[in-house]
A = this chain, B = another copy of it.
Amino acid sequence: MANQYETVTRSVTRRDAVDKAVGRAKYGADIRLQGMLQGKILHSPHAHARIVRIDTSRAEKVIGVKAIITGEDTGRARVGRFLRDRTILAQGKVRHRGESVAAVAAVDKDTADEAVQLIHVDYEELPAVFDSLEAMEPGAPIVHEELGTYFSLTPLHSKGNVLDECYIREGNMEEAWAQADIIHEDSYTTEAVHHSFIQPHEAVGHVDGSGKVTVWSSTKALFGVRGTICQALGLRMSNVQVIGAAVGGDFGGKGNAYLEPICVLLAHKAHAPVSLALSREEEFLCSPMRERSRLRLKLAARKDGTLLGFQSMHILDSGAYNDTFQGFLFSLDVAIGPYRIPHLDVSRYYVYTNNHPTGHFRGPMGMTQHVFATESHLDALAAKLGMDPVELRLKNRQKDGDQAHSGGTLQHVSIGDTVGAAAEYLRREKKERQKNRGWGIACSQYQTQRFRDIPFISSACVKMNEDGTVALSTGVIESGGGQHTTLAQIVAEVLKIPYESVTVFYGDTNVVPRDYSTSASQTTYRAGMMVKMASEDLRQQLLQLGADKLRTGVESMELVNGRVQVINKPTVGVAVTSLVREQGALQGTGTELRAKKVAILEEEKDIIDGPSSSAHVAQVEVDPETGNVKVLKYFAAHDVGFAINPQNVEGQIQGAISQGLGYALSEEAVTNNGRVVNPNFIDYKLRGARDMPPIESAVIEVPSTHGPFGAKGFSEAGLLLSAPAVANAVFDATGVRITSLPITAEKVLKALKQKEARRLE
């Protein structure tokens, strides 16, 4: 069958590609305003201490210093991405090493650095806690005495340092244990990792003569930043304009707004624009990372592999501040996996400590950690059962009509397709056993539709120019996934115009329609649907205008090659450009309200349609002398619903694997009493292009009802599976199971030696 599409399904070139490649893209640090000052933050040297006194007098005397602010200047407003668990600058006490205590604006960076060093703070050190289990003990130092009094989204009552408790319980665990032929129990740990975006957090703040605030931010959440600034500083939204600068990597870490209120306050005090950018070291000190975690898993099964019960306890070290969306059960659903298990008791605790703050990182809310544990655990169970790990997964997989663990009825489940593709790959690639080499598989299921129930609102507006080209206006930030390219393709497809005739305008809260954030694999799926709807609205208006002009009914009109014409009578028509010229503005909109009316019928409410499934396979070679793990081959099958831009899809898959392998094998923010001791890219080991194995991917398209052309979100799912696939492959290669991330050579070597020692015993 010929491709029925003209623009979608084509790998058109990314719009941002050239500028980013040649260094012309404008990031936050590239913004230059006349008279612009450089800002600098003073960070706490203590993990937990009372602030007795701050003396800025020496710093103020430095020539070129234009403004200094401390917690006394920032008001009582609390900020935070979801929980509002901190103030703009520390007030009363500091809770982690690196907390922002004061900020300076000066004529240049050196002057700002000098002034920051001259601010004298008297601290009174307090007992600190750095371990999540210790923090849960009675009598542990309390990180947030005021816990429960000011959190906005999930009001909590004080439970010491436990910030959130969340669980899924089904059936009866005792029954599961009683029925089981086999019970497998183990513990897992993961370490803190940083998103390691190449561009650190950056912002510029400006306050004009009428008090209007303009902020340039390298954020992925324009409207979130505006909301935070307004709430933190008590401003009307009409007086705050947030403009998106280019984003040099996000991965979940660019959704907060901590620099921005500081910039604005400094700019206000200094009567000049202020630029503030974190250094790499500061990124590790104070911007949120993925949580360090401890997990205990217990799985019950019959000897034929039928899963009976699953119990897990997941404790996440939230650090001093928490940027996580709380209470969203879907994340536990992902943690359990795409399996039928009648008895469940899966719980998760977030615990404050005096470590660095934590927040979202591709596969957030503990998903990445838990899937590592679950998929490792399942593999260990398969080994104990003497069963093929693929077969174990296929046997227990969820099917259409099953209830999702977090509620709702699953439909168009594709986990069989992706795991099936992985099985196919293994059949082809996995020959006879080779020494020190092994294969591992892992799979998961991500329900993009789940986010419909929480306020991840999007909307879009398309405006036609006089020459028939189109401007898409969107709140979606291009965070590196090719989002704007994909959205432009959707517009071009619906309006039957060349892709090159679509421009994307995005960066300004004053004018673009609201979008929640480039988050949670929602952009193509949800924002894309809004863009499609806006384009369809515009198309409908064109058809109506053409029908009016030709005095016929709109239902007999079609849009072809820049003309509105009568179906099957191409000679009777009118040029789109002539219709547009008569209008001041011809624009279509896509909004949630319309989406609800158009797309989602009442009876579909409880249907979880077309979850995005995935399966990864890794082949590794373990060096028995050093313990080093080398990934030789990698396979990834993803159900993306519909690949609007196949190259972007491939890019997302490859990027996720690169990050996933870093998480699996090398990345770790090492801390010592709350101090990150490797806050740089020499000691913190990222994987480069040369460290990547050849990747083969299978893009599967089981369409979603609610995504544009059937597309689903899948980008986060890509990161979940590398760590367990590699851990399982290491086990397959060596017979040792590493239950602690990252799987470093040291850990493997130690395990190999222990195994050898046991063998010799």
Contact = CB atoms under 8 A, between A and B. Distances in A.
Interface stretch (A253-261, A330-338, A585-593, A716-724): A585-593
A467 B473 CA distance: 21
B514 A585 contact: yes
B208 A18 contact: yes
Given A586-B591, A591-B583, A238 B510 contact: no
A1 interface: no
A513 B208 contact: no
A460 B208 CA distance: 25
A577 B110 CA distance: 45
B34 A473 contact: no
A584 B21 CA distance: 33
Contacts of A469: 236-239
A237 B584 contact: no
Contacts of A30: 34
B514 A512 contact: no
A229 to B, nearest CB: 12
B227 A471 contact: no
Contacts of A209: 17-19, 21-22, 24
A459 interface: yes
B466 A587 contact: no
A48 to B, nearest CB: 36
A466 B513 contact: no
B585 A467 contact: no
Interface string A463-507: 101110111010000000000000000000000000011110100
Contacts of A227: 466
B584 A587 contact: no
Given A18-B210, A208-B24, A589-B587, A236 B514 contact: no
Nearest to A206: B24
A239 B592 contact: no
Contacts of A24: 208-209
Interface string A499-533: 01111010010111111000000000000001000
Given A18-B210, A238-B503, 5 more contacts: A30-B34, A473-B510, A505-B511, A508-B511, A511-B511
A584 B502 contact: no
Contact of A465 (B33, B238, B505): B238
A458 interface: yes
Interface string A260-296: 0000000000000000000000000000000000000
Nearest to A461: B585
Contact of A238 (B471, B511, B515, B590): B471
Contact of A589 (B466, B467, B505, B585): B585
* Copies of this protein, total: 2
A15 B465 CA distance: 29
A605 interface: no
Contacts of A223: 466
Given A19-B208, A237-B466, A463-B511, A585 B581 contact: no
Interface residues of A, number: 63
B511 A512 contact: yes
B230 A19 contact: no
A591 B581 contact: no
A263 to B, nearest CB: 17
A238 B505 contact: no
Given A236-B500, A500-B238, A513-B463, A583 B589 contact: no
Contacts of A455: 581
A210 B208 CA distance: 33
Contact of A511 (B466, B473, B500, B586): B473
A377 B73 CA distance: 69
Contacts of A545: 593
A215 to B, nearest CB: 14
Contacts of A592: 582-584
A241 interface: yes
29 contacts: A17-B209, A18-B208, A18-B210, A19-B208, A22-B209, A30-B34, A227-B466, A237-B465, A237-B469, A238-B470, A239-B469, A239-B500, A241-B503, A455-B581, A458-B584, A459-B585, A461-B587, A471-B510, A505-B510, A505-B511, A508-B508, A508-B511, A514-B584, A530-B584, A583-B593, A584-B591, A584-B592, A585-B589, A587-B589
